[in-house]
Structures are given as structure tokens and as C-alpha cells.
Amino acid sequence: MSQSAPTAVAVLTHIVRSIVDQPDAVVVEETSNDDGKHRLDVRVGPGDLGRVIGRRGRTAASIRTVTRAAASKDGVELDIEFLD
């Protein structure tokens, strides 16, 4: 499947890899559903999820804001999920 939001994926991958202890364990997968909404699933190494989410989810919220801004350049609307 080709990426419909390459800028958003690149930005998200770069930000998350900069935060975690194990940058090689970061995986970003893009999925889309029938109504045109795209989702980026982010998986990180063991013990790194807390770093990505941050206190009270502030880091995750900031990552979502920046990535959605990058997605607007790609012309898509997306959701971001941080998974175990």
C-alpha cells in the first residue's frame, strides 16, 4: 500500500525516534478506512510508551498537533494512535 500522507509519516517517525530510548524499535503503520479518514499506528519498544505519551498525555497531544499540521500539507485528515 502506498502512503497517502508521506510528510506526516516522516514527521511523526522523526519526532518519536527523537524521544525514545530505542529508536530502531519505532514502527509507524498507515491505515485508511472507507470514509477517507487515515490512521497512523505508532509502536515503540518496551518501556518507551510512557516517554511518548508524557505527563497527562501532553507529549502525545503535541505530537498529534504537529503531525496533523504536516498531514494538511499532504491533503489528508488523520488520527494517531500510540499502541503497546
Domain ranges of the chain: 6-83
27 — alpha (psi -120 to 50), left (phi > 0) or beta?
A: beta
pTM (2 d.p.):
0.91
* pLDDT for the residue 34: 73
Taking only the tens place, the pLDDT of each residue in 53-69 is: 999 999 999 999 999 99
* pLDDT for the residue 57: 96
User: Which homologous superfamily does the CATH classification assign to the domain defined by 6-83?
Assistant: K homology (KH) domain (3.30.300.20)
Taking only the tens place, the pLDDT of each residue in 4-43 is: 889 999 999 999 999 999 999 999 999 887 777 889 999 9
Nearest 5°: phi and psi at 81? -120, 135
